[in-house]
Structure 1
């Protein structure tokens, strides 16, 4: 259901770090939003070092953006962002000042996964039961 994109300069993340980040992003999302792990998508986008800037200067940040379904309580969305931020710092070893987490939300009805319109938050169990994925 959600999709997270980790954007970094090429070579700044090892394969092991990527795997650890993907696992921890999935775990955090599942714990907070109560969806099956198989529905959490994590992709990595690596850009050439000469294509990444912060403050107009070459930089090597780690930026995590995510799309989640609108309707989760704000305190859960804030907790999600904070836990994701802590995880990327802990796992990547990057200084917190070089990291950013941005979550964007949209209506569930605006997204389709596996040919099915996504359920509203709180309706996952029924949706999974109807689709035979439970």
Structure 2
């Protein structure tokens, strides 16, 4: 259900760092939003070094853009963003000042997974029934 896309310049993250970061993003999201870890998707997008800029200058930020179903408390979403930012900085060895996390949301009914409209937060058990 939730999707977190980590965007960096090519060569910024090793395969081992990506695996560790994906595992930690999954763990944090599942804990904060109380969803099964299997629901969490993490995708890495690496752009050519000459395609990533910060303040108009070439840069190597770690940008995490997340999507979740609307309805989670705002405090939980802020906590999620803070925890993801700290984990990304620690695991990737990127200074916190070079990490940006943005969590966007939309109604569950705006997304379809496995051919079915997603459930509202808290209704996952019913959604899993055949």
Could you say whether these structures have the same fold, taking a TM-score greater than 0.5 normalized by the shorter chain as the test?
Answer: yes
Deviations 1:63-86, CA, capped at 9 Å, x for gaps: 000110001011111111111011
Number of aligned pairs?
130
- Partner of residue 105, structure 1: 105
- Partner of residue 60, structure 2: 60
TM-score of the pair, normalised by structure 2: 0.98
- Partner of residue 13, structure 1: 13
Q: Identify the range of structure 1 (66-75 vs 31-40) with the bigger mean alpha-carbon deviation.
A: 31-40
Q: Distance in 2 between matches of 1:64 and 1:11?
A: 17
**Helix, strand or coil: the match of 1:88?**
helix
Deviation (angstroms), 1:126: 1.7
**Helix, strand or coil: the match of 1:12?**
coil
List alignment gaps of at least 5 residues for structure 2. none
Deviation (angstroms), 1:39: 1.1
List alignment gaps of at least 5 residues for structure 1. none
TM-score of the pair, normalised by structure 1: 0.95
Q: Structure 1 segments of 4 or more deviating over 2 A?
A: none
Deviation (angstroms), 1:105: 0.2
**What value does the CA root-mean-square deviation take over the aligned residues?**
0.7
Q: Distance in 2 between matches of 1:96 and 1:39?
A: 27
2:3 counterpart of 1:3: yes
- Partner of residue 119, structure 1: 119
Deviation (angstroms), 1:127: 1.4
